[in-house]
Structure 1
């Protein structure tokens, strides 16, 4: 009997310790994403997280986070032979966002000559990607639900701010996230009030954790 009580006490203690560790890790990661935008806003920053001013605006921008991505080398990878596949973890990440009803979009450069509207240019982009796709599952175009923003002129090509400004205008009061592999693009997004996240960085999650995006809402 005394041994059983001892085991129960040890199990409860271990459970409490595990909960404390989990909470500490979650708080640390949330703090990293939500409170250290200085690196994105200041010259020379790597653009990993959101700034103080941006975080302050979350009070009035709730309930509908929208996550925008760059496409190439963020969600998909083009191999030397020209074939295109998902980047590691991208398919499961998009699925996790979909399962939690978090809206997503693309902000990506394509030739303006591909069409006169975003829909036309997006259709051409889909055709180009699908023609060389080698993944075991097709790219999840339907998840973007028409939220694919592309430059109308050469002057609108990223890192010009126009596409991010258009995405904000179309998203109303929703809190916006932007994820890309390029430092310059992440910094521009941060300067425009997005929660930025640079993918492909060592010792960090491949993408901004879904639970942190849910906190934004």
Structure 2
């Protein structure tokens, strides 16, 4: 892709995003200082033509719907959205509140979260835990619970120099993510896509 084509694609993407009227911010963060060693998927970087993007989500009422009886299933359109991102080799992660007492590490808390969700899961399609591949960020202390910025800051560090997206149902959390440099999208609004279109997420990797 030549420079002119890249610029044209970037302009087209920005126009499309503005047309959606749903982004609270479109701030591109600089490379995070002191990024953790386990960076973004190399395959995703290559698939994006040298750039990369990581799409983070809240869980409850964003990807997973909890019914009145306590059962859980995919939120409308969530399974299809994750499948579309998977097809584009876009890494996904979760930024979600769970009790800090559920474990000493993100991995332990994520395992406890999976157990809770799986026990109440009634959807015919299993939740796609393997898509998240260790990218599940949870509070280490109660003070880190969203909307405190800590989880988004940790996720951005883990993403290295990739663009970062956050999608959630809570307006305050979406605003916080936007203020921290995420492309932030509030899901499940009437008169606009339930989720940020995967094609637009993929194109974010190419923005200058």
Query: Could you state the TM-score of these two structures normalised by the residue count of structure 2?
Result: 0.80
The answer to whether the Cα contact below 8 Å between 1:50 and 1:190 also exists between their aligned partners in 2 is yes
Greater fraction of residues in helix? 1
- For residue 171 of structure 1, report the CA deviation from its aligned partner: 0.9
Aligned pairs for 1:190-205 within 5 A: 190-205=178-193
Q: Aligned partners of 2:99 and 2:25: how far apart in 1?
A: 32
1:143-154 superposed matches below 5 A: 143-154=131-142
Deviation string, structure 1 residues 89-138 (Cα, Å, up to 9, x no partner): 10011000001100000000000000000000000000000000000011
- Check the 8 A contact 1:67/1:176 in 2, yes or no: yes
Contact 1:109 1:157 in 2 (8 A): yes
Q: Which segments of 5 or more consecutive residues in structure 2 lack a partner in the other structure? A: 1-11, 32-49
The answer to whether the aligner puts 1:157 opposite 2:131 as a matched pair is no
Count of matched residue pairs: 177
Kept in 1, the 8 Å contact 2:29–2:163? The answer is no
Question: What TM-score do the two structures reach when normalised by structure 1?
Answer: 0.77
Change (3 A) 1:81 1:51: closer
Over aligned residues, Cα RMSD in angstroms? 2.2
- Tell me, in whole angstroms, the C-alpha distance in 1 between the residues paired with 2:133 and 2:157: 17
Q: Kindly report structure 1 stretches of 4+ aligned residues shifted beyond 6 Å.
A: none
Q: Which residue of 1 aligns with 2:129?
A: 141
Structure possessing the higher relative contact order (Cα contacts under 8 Å, 6 or more residues apart)? 2
